[in-house]
Amino acid sequence: MTVAALLPALLDPPAGRPALAFPDGALTYPELAARAGAVAREIAGLDRVAVWATPTLPTVVGIVAALLAGVPAVPVNPRSGPRELAHVVADAAPGAVLADPTVDLPAALAEVRRIPVPREPDRPGGPALRNVDSDLPGTAPALVIYTSGTTGPPKGAVLSRAAIATNLDALADAWDWSDADVLAHALPLFHVHGLVLGVLGPLRRGGAVRHLGAFSAPALAATVDAGATLVFGVPTHYHRLADELATDPAAAALVGRARLLVSGSAALTAVDHARLQRLTGLAVRERYGLTETLILTAARADEPVEPGTVGRPLAGVELRLVAEDAGDDLGAVEVRSPGMFSGYLNRTDPPATPDGWFPTGDIGRWTASGALALVGRRATDLIKSGGFKIGAGEIENALLEHPTVREAAVVGVPDDDLGERVIAFVVAAGAADGAALADHVASLLSPHKRPREVRFVDALPRNDMGKVVKARLPR
Ligand code: MCA
Ligand code: AMP
């Protein structure tokens, strides 16, 4: 599969057309093309570049530069712990790191050539941008996004240019997403949700994105008032939005002027769905996907919302439910899609079965209308907290490195705000202190992986084979 051009509006930038607005500044298409084009010329020919992915303009300029140069970009969580960052740098082996010149980069990046992404106004003109897609196959890697597995350090999912282009076009079809749309969100820029959907989505359409910096109801209301038509967020954003709008009817009315509110990355509760509908008049549309597959299903703009479902498969996506027992209407979700990743960087495990099916690890059922309802996940070792996927094994390994920990089991428990929160069960070796153990984890890994609670137990429940049975842990 080939891609005509991943970001056509940057090759022929419409004069004066807004592209990006962040709390730290705004760029039109010609300004973005000039600035990213200058960086693209500096990095041309590199195998891969890291982008220090703060939620700021230089991050988008860096990512766009890499895509214009045909150099795969690795967005890096700027709050990565030293353990994760060292792994990502060693695994991705970037030829350069693109970063806002004002930030201090940590020691793990000291050996990597740093290319500052200019913050000052663009240098106008410059040679016209070449369309690298005319030379590259669609399978050429565009992004490497690190995502947690059940055990071990995060793995880099390689996403091709064709996967991104076809997935964004399928979403445009589902949501009537056009260059007239202005997207508002406050998502991080190192995951598929905020970066692929939230930045490349509008840029591929030739529309605009306004990043709020930090999410708040007043900021969102003002942005919708200023013309934003689409809102993307994780359920934690929508939970907090419902809380805030409950005491701010003026903001609720403004938010209600948006065309679509879209939630993803984790399940939106029925309570928050109903609260937001009552407050804004809008039914939040859910969509479902994974870093490895991009987006698979979505509630369409031109159809009524069926609360509790994540919509129907997008154009080109095949989705099947594999039931354990015949006649069971619940099944393991497996997919085959043009948005599928190409594999994990430096790993030989095949990305899918020989006939192309990828097991998502989610369990679902079809509703009468053909929409998918997700009912849970297979692995208790994967936790979704605030929309971030967290592997229990990575935290258990960090805990086990502490001298006061003999055994550890990490699970997610329900949380009104985060969906799930991380808690650790620990069999102590000597005098252990829960707060110190949580700090120990946060000193190695990203702060969102810090256990919110450490419970000490005499022994972990184990089966006859000696394997820990997390379902039997006291919740
Ligand atoms: C922040 N903290 C968290 C989380 N986020 N702890 C647990 N789970 C979290 N998700 C911690 C911080 O480390 C910090 O701890 C403290 O909470 C306050 O930090 P702050 O930055 O103020 O947090 P927040 O603003 O309250 O963050 C909540 C959030 C954030 C905005 C919902 O978690 C977030 O941006 N989530 C989006 C995740 C996302 O984009 N997922 C997409 C991947 P301390 O005080 O210890 O430092 S999924 C994907 O891409 C697929 C394709 C899909 O379907 O979308
Ligand atoms: P990640 O690997 O971080 O991309 O997370 C992918 C996982 O997020 C999926 O396997 C689902 O478990 C979960 N997910 C994404 N969107 C939704 C949604 N709308 N409802 C429920 N779970 C979701």
| SS3 letters across the chain | CCCCCCCHHHHCCCCCCEEEEECCEEEEHHHHHHHHHHHHHHHCCCCCEEEECCCCHHHHHHHHHHHHHCCCEEEECCCCCHHHHHHHHHHHCCCEEEECCCCCCCHHHCCCCEEECCCCCCCCCCCCCCCHHHCCCCCCEEEEEEECCCCCCCEEEEEEHHHHHHHHHHHHHHHCCCCCCEEEECCCCCCHHHHHHHHHHHHHHCCEEEECCCCCHHHHHHHHHCCCCEEEECHHHHHHHHHHHCCCHHHHHHHCCCCEEEECCCCCCHHHHHHHHHHHCCCCEEEEEECCCEEEEECCCCCCCCCCCCCEECCCCEEEEECCCCCCCCEEEEEECCCCCCEECCCCCCCCCCCCCEEEEEEEEECCCCCEEEEEECCCCEEEECCEEEEHHHHHHHHHCCCCEEEEEEEEEEECCCEEEEEEEEEECCCCCHHHHHHHHHHHCCHHHCCCEEEECCCCCECCCCCECHHHCCC
Output the pLDDT for position 125: 63
Whether residue 88 has pLDDT greater than 70: yes
User: Does the Cβ of 362 fall within 6 Å of ligand 2?
Assistant: yes
User: Does the Cβ of 334 fall within 6 Å of ligand 2?
Assistant: no
Least confident of 32-36, 94-98, 203-207, 351-355: 351-355
User: Does the Cβ of 279 fall within 6 Å of ligand 2?
Assistant: no
Which ligand minimizes its atom distance to the CA of 157? 2
**Ligand 2 atom, smallest distance to 268 CA:** 20
- Decide: 258 and 224 in contact? Cβ < 8 Å: yes
Output the pLDDT for position 157: 98
Whether residue 194 has pLDDT greater than 70: yes
Could you give all domains of the chain from N- to C-terminal order, each with its CATH number? 3-205 (3.40.50.12780), 386-472 (3.30.300.30)
Q: At 465, is the pLDDT very low, low, confident or very high (cuts 50, 70, 90)? A: confident
- Decide: 6 and 64 in contact? Cβ < 8 Å: no
Output the pLDDT for position 124: 58
Mean pLDDT, the chain, integer:
95
Mean pLDDT of the region 301-316: 97
Whether residue 122 has pLDDT greater than 60: no
Whether residue 337 has pLDDT greater than 70: yes
- Decide: 35 and 25 in contact? Cβ < 8 Å: no
Output the pLDDT for position 260: 98
Whether residue 127 has pLDDT greater than 80: no
Q: At 92, is the pLDDT very low, low, confident or very high (cuts 50, 70, 90)? A: very high
Output the pLDDT for position 123: 59
User: Does the Cβ of 387 fall within 6 Å of ligand 1?
Assistant: yes
User: Does the Cβ of 455 fall within 6 Å of ligand 1?
Assistant: no
Q: At 454, is the pLDDT very low, low, confident or very high (cuts 50, 70, 90)? A: very high
45 CA distance to ligand 1 middle (Å): 34
Whether residue 120 has pLDDT greater than 80: no
Whether residue 282 has pLDDT greater than 90: yes
Q: Whose CA is nearest to atom 15 of ligand 2?
A: 265
How long, in residues, is the chain? 475
Q: Whose CA is nearest to atom 23 of ligand 2?
A: 266
Half-sphere exposure of 198 (CA within 13 A, CB side): 31
Which ligand minimizes its atom distance to the CA of 268? 2
- Decide: 160 and 342 in contact? Cβ < 8 Å: yes
Whether residue 174 has pLDDT greater than 80: yes
CA distance 33 to 17: 12
Whether residue 363 has pLDDT greater than 80: yes
User: Does the Cβ of 147 fall within 6 Å of ligand 2?
Assistant: yes
Angle at 443 between CA 108 and CA 56, to 5 degrees: 60
Per-residue model confidence as pLDDT tens digits over 391-446: 999 999 999 999 999 999 999 999 999 999 999 999 999 888 999 999 999 999 99
Whole-angstrom CA distances from 407 to 176, 400, 422, 442 are 52, 7, 16, 18
Residues forming a β-bridge with 427: 407
- Decide: 395 and 422 in contact? Cβ < 8 Å: yes
Q: Whose CA is nearest to atom 6 of ligand 2?
A: 290
Q: Among 190, 448, 450, which is best to mutate for testing ligand 1, by the most ligand atoms less than 8 A from CB?
A: 448
Output the pLDDT for position 326: 77
Per-residue model confidence as pLDDT tens digits over 221-261: 999 999 999 999 999 999 999 999 999 999 999 999 999 99
Output the pLDDT for position 352: 87
User: Does the Cβ of 75 fall within 6 Å of ligand 1?
Assistant: no
Mean pLDDT of the region 306-334: 94
220 CA distance to ligand 2 middle (Å): 24
CA distance 299 to 121: 40
CA distance 28 to 17: 5
What backbone torsions phi and psi does residue 18 show, to the nearest 5 degrees?
-65, 140
Q: Whose CA is nearest to atom 5 of ligand 2?
A: 290
Output the pLDDT for position 164: 98
387 CA distance to ligand 1 middle (Å): 7
Please, is 407 exposed, middle or buried when counting C-beta atoms within 10 Å of its C-beta (0-12, 13-18, 19+)? Answer: middle
Q: Among 54, 190, 234, which is best to mutate for testing ligand 1, by the most ligand atoms less than 8 A from CB?
A: 234
**Ligand 1 atom, smallest distance to 290 CA:** 52
Q: Shortest CA distance to 437 belongs to which of 473, 401, 474, 386?
A: 401
Per-residue model confidence as pLDDT tens digits over 18-72: 999 999 899 999 999 999 999 999 999 999 999 999 999 999 999 999 999 999 9
